[in-house]
Every structure is written in C-alpha cells, then in structure tokens.
Amino acid sequence: MAAQDFNFLLATDSYKRSHCLETAGKSCNMDDQLLVITHYKQYPPNVSKIYSYFECRQKKGSQFNEVVFFGLQYLLKKYLTGPVVTEDKIQEAKLFYQMHFKQAVFDEEGWRKVLEKHNGRLPIRIKAVPEGKIIPRGNVLFTVENTDQDFYWLTNYIETMLVQMWYPITVATISREFKKILAKHLKATSGSLEGLELKLHDFGYRGVSSQESAALGGAAHLVNFCGTDTIAGVLMAQRYYGCPMAGFSIPAAEHSTIISWGKNKEKEAFERILDQFLSGPVSVVSDSYDIFNACKHIWGDKLKERVMERSEDSCLVIRPDSGDPAETLIEVIKILGECFGYSLNSMGYKVLPSYLRIIQGDGIDLSSVDQILAKLSDEGWSAENVLFGCGSSLLQKLNRDTLSCAFKCSYVETNGKGMDVCKQPVTDPSKGSKRGRLSLRRNSDGFLETIERGAGKPEEDLLVTVFENGSLLQDYSLDEIRKNALLQDDEPNPNLYNHERELLHNHIISSIH
C-alpha cells in the first residue's frame, strides 16, 4: 500500500517538455514548453489511449553497453499501489496548483472521476522486464498505458516519478561493472571467484543527497554484492524485496577513534581495538599519521605477535585512506609481505597470511580499481589480498545522462483508431524514439531486441505485467533479482547472501569508513 502521507497528485513536474506526435506524412505540432498539470487540455480531441515506454538509449562510445533493471518494485509499492487518490488529496492539490499557477488549471473533475470510478486506484498498466535482468542499451525496459479511456492523461502524468528509475538502474549497473572488473582480476590471479560478492563495500551513505537516495542506491548495490555500510539500503531490501539480511559489515576504526589517543599513542590505539575484538574480522584505518610506519613498525613489529594470533575468520584488515591509491596500496602490501611473509597460490601469485588483508576505500572508481589490480598483478600479488570500498563514485557521481534514460510516448488511440507515434529531432537523431506498441524478445541468435509497431508475438514478449489498476502483480525477492544479475561465469551461492556465518568463513571482508 502506498504511503498515506504522500500526495500522488503533487508528484509531477509543473512544467516539462511535451511529446510530439508524428506518423508518416502527419504530425501534431505542440508547443515545446507545456504544463503537465494542463496536459489534459492539450491532447488532441477524442484521445482514449496514451502508451509510453522507458529505455536507456544507446550512446555511441558509452562506457556502458548494458544495464541492470532494478528499483521499479520499490516505486510501485511505496507510491502507486492501492487508493492513492482521496478527497483530501484532491483538495490539497487544488489549492496548491491555484496558488502555484495563479489561475485555475487543476483538473479537479478528472481526479474525482478516478476516486469515484476506481476507488482512488490508478487505471494504469505497467509492463516491465523482470528486476535484475541484464538488458542491452537501446531496448524497452518498461511500458505504461491507461486501462480506462477516460484517463489517457494519467500515462504521462506519472512520467516524472517513473523516470527517477534512472537512479537505481544506474547504481546497479555501475556496481555490476565493478563486479566484472573484480571478477576478471580475481579469476586471473587466484583461479576462482571465491569471495567475489564481498570485494566491493558500499561506503556511500554519507555522500548521497538524501535518505531515500541512500536506500535506493544502497539496495541497488546489494543486487551484486553483500558488503555495505549503508544501512538504509539493507532496510529497503528487507522491506520491499523480502530479504531478511541483504548486506554485512564488520567492526571498524575511524580516524576519530585513533587520533583521540594522541599521536604518540597510535600503537595503544591499535592494541585497544585488537583487545576489544578478539574474534571476528576487524578493520583499522592506519594512515592517521604515517601509513608506512604503522604497517612496518607497529603492525609488523610491536604488534606483530598479536596480529599473528588472529585467525582467518578473525583477520585484521588494514585500511589506507590517503595518497595515490595504487602507489600507496602496493607499498603497503610490500611492507606487510616483508613483515609477515606470504605464500604462492595455485596461479603463482603472492598471498598474505589469511589473518591479514587490506581494504582500499579512498579514490576508488571503475578506472582506479582496474588500474590498482593490474599493478598488483604486475608486482606478483593476487587480488585475494585486497578489498575495496566505494562511496560517491558508486552512489552519487552519476546522473540521468549516465545511461541516457528517457520516457517517450510511442502509441495513441484517437476516435477508436490506433496511431504509432515517435519523436524525430532533426538536430539530434540519437534522441529519436521508438514507434508503436513495444515488446522485448530474444531472437534466433540469442540476442535481446525490441520489436516496434505492435509486431511482436505475445508468447515471445519478455515484458511482464507488474502493475495494473492500482495493484502490484509481481513481487520479486532480492534472491530472484540477484540470480538474474549474476555474471555469466558466477555460480549462485544463496548461503553467502543469507548467513553471516558464511561471510566470516570466507574471510574476504570489508569495513566501515
């Protein structure tokens, strides 16, 4: 059931660009700056159906060729299910828009019809690809249409809210791109993908714009990984995707807990942490003053025996947090290798003792992770030794244009006749839109493709009706979504996702920053 204190009637732009309705030989020229609230007055006479779709447009030279579809279920559950139109909300919207536009433009009659005819439920149908599916750019991801001809104007009224799908899709996509890079290096330097789901930890909670951004972005990351400090994302996965515990973390130091001891007592600060967390992994930021001195003379000398007493399931994770990420990390791992020794794995790469690991959480993005792991392997070190934390580059340094997300009208019915429509700007062909009713299928070569103009076969259509007339028809679990998003060579391991014990046994862990 949608949130009771949320007024759906106010959840749209007060103005935006209209959609140009075009067919072969015919066009409908509309002012390019139109008011959403007044669109019901601007469509052609006798319109009974508006059908629109959402896609991540293909972009030449883009870094990303495919996307992870995620987040629609949350928006539907949170904002659209059940009776979202009430008399109180109609009156609230009427007053607001009167003040906002300084004239009477609000369609009070239309909204009251929704209330009276449909008990406040939205007469809308949404079909979408299953959440977690990997879809090549340029394909339809979901479609929206009215189910009652009196409410054709509703389809694009909800565009503003639905276009916000760009955020969880983009985060889930970037997170999965991290996973590809990590999998490549882990496989090449260790011969397996063990621990992959714990290799990238979400550090982004404090760096996003709101609690909801943290929740959506944090949950999107959890489609691909299990390490996180963004509690809001874990709670969203629990409440909206049926996962009792989607992400894990470990006790960890921050700079305040180290420097509060004073510069001359860094060793005592470290020792205090070891005393407090005798079992289970623990992460200690070690660059408050001199990361190299801390690794060589404190961890590798004064506290060496204390570190060696720890086990694989209670390993110490040392965290650098400044300097050039690659150079600092390589120097740190060399020092630790000299102090604690190392072994060679089956691929011939060096691995620190199982009670000791490193996490790099500063300066991390897709490019730097690839560069760091490449330099480590060049120095003979396995990717097993390191984990990564990522904040703003995972949850915040992105926007709707990162994946060129767009919502466009492609089909209308007027006077009982259907018409395929599209957008074809002469100044930018890349912004051209699709025509007609759309379906998504897997062709004979095994590739996904969008079929336009209503030519698709229903039995081949991969789009699933997820919402109709105010009701959620599909309820995906995070486990299902994670399976949909697996890398091709990545085998599912449900125990890894569901039991903290498995997290500890794998010892490939992450930390709080």
Domain boundaries, the chain: 53-169+408-482, 175-396
Beta bridge partners of 283: 252, 317
Strand bridging mode 140-146 / 417-420: unpaired
pLDDT at 429: 86
pLDDT classification of 506: cutoffs 50, 70, 90: very low
Give me the sign of the Cα torsion angle 29, 32, 37, 38: negative
Q: Nearest-5° angle of CA 361, CA 364, CA 365?
A: 150
Could you tell me which of 118, 89, 82 has the C-alpha nearest to residue 106?
89
pLDDT at 15: 60
DSSP states of 200-211:
EEE--GGGSSSH
Joined tokens for residue 73: 């279920």
Residues 413, 47: contact at Cβ < 8 Å?
yes
The dihedrals phi and psi of 58, each to the nearest 5 degrees, come to -70, 140
pLDDT at 40: 56
pLDDT at 38: 52
The dihedrals phi and psi of 284, each to the nearest 5 degrees, come to -130, 115
Residues 413, 395: contact at Cβ < 8 Å?
no
Over the stretch 416-445, which tens digit does the pLDDT of each residue have? 999 999 999 999 888 899 999 999 999 999
pLDDT at 39: 58
Residues 450, 436: contact at Cβ < 8 Å?
no
Q: Name the pTM for this structure.
A: 0.91
Residue 496 has pLDDT above 50, yes or no: no
Could you tell me which of 21, 354, 409 has the C-alpha nearest to residue 195?
354
Residue 243 CB coordination number (10 Å): 21
pLDDT at 327: 97
Residue 500 has pLDDT above 50, yes or no: no
What distance in Å separates the CA atoms of residue 392 and residue 90, rounded to the nearest whole number? 39
pLDDT at 61: 86
Residue 192 has pLDDT above 70, yes or no: yes
Over the stretch 8-34, which tens digit does the pLDDT of each residue have? 999 998 863 233 333 333 443 333 333
Residues 169, 56: contact at Cβ < 8 Å?
yes
User: The CATH number of 175-396 is which of 3.50.90.10, 3.30.110.30, 3.30.1540.10, 3.20.20.70?
Assistant: 3.20.20.70
pLDDT at 213: 98
Residues 462, 442: contact at Cβ < 8 Å?
yes
Beta bridge partners of 412: 50, 419
Joined tokens for residue 108: 């009070």
Residue 491 CB coordination number (10 Å): 7
What's the rounded mean pLDDT across residues 53-66? 93
Q: At what angle do helices 166-190 and 211-221 cross, to 10 degrees?
A: 40
The dihedrals phi and psi of 89, each to the nearest 5 degrees, come to -70, -35
What distance in Å separates the CA atoms of residue 80 and residue 473, rounded to the nearest whole number? 12
Q: What value does the mean pLDDT of the chain take?
A: 91
Residues 181, 225: contact at Cβ < 8 Å?
no
Q: Which residues contact 23 (CB under 8 A, 6 or more apart)?
A: 419, 420, 421
Residues 80, 2: contact at Cβ < 8 Å?
yes
C-alpha distances in Å from residue 241, one per residue of 70, 77, 131, 333: 11, 10, 11, 39
Percent of the chain with pLDDT over 90: 84
Over the stretch 267-321, which tens digit does the pLDDT of each residue have? 999 999 999 999 999 999 999 999 999 999 999 999 999 999 999 999 999 999 9
Residue 113 has pLDDT above 90, yes or no: yes
Residue 462 has pLDDT above 70, yes or no: yes
Residue 226 has pLDDT above 50, yes or no: yes
